[in-house]
Amino acid sequence: MSFRVDKDSLGDVKVPSEAYYGPFTVRASSQYTVTGEKAHPDLIHAYTMIKRSAA
């Protein structure tokens, strides 16, 4: 898997090259692995619909 390096206010983050998301999502998903919690699929679907309509 290849990665790209995205920069933001918190520093550099390795993001998968084919990903549509950015550094904040990578950081958030690393936090979910610590807690063991996962986002509900309906929440992810709703968020995707909002992002698509805003694009």
Q: Provide the CA 15 distance to its chain's centre, in angstroms.
A: 9
Q: Is the CB of residue 24 less than 8 Å from the CB of residue 16?
A: no
- The band of 51, judged by pLDDT with boundaries at 50, 70 and 90, is very high
> 47 pLDDT exceeds 90?
yes
Separation CA 13–CA 5 (nearest Å) = 6
Of the candidates 3, 51, 1, 50, the residue with the CA atom closest to the CA atom of residue 26: 3
**What pLDDT is recorded for position 18?**
94
Q: Provide the percentage of residues in the chain whose pLDDT is more than 70.
A: 100
Domain count, the chain: 1
Range of the domain at 37: 3-54
pTM for this prediction: 0.56
> 55 pLDDT exceeds 90?
no
Averaged pLDDT, 41-53: 95
> 35 pLDDT exceeds 80?
no
Separation CA 13–CA 30 (nearest Å) = 12
Biggest CA pair distance of the chain: 32
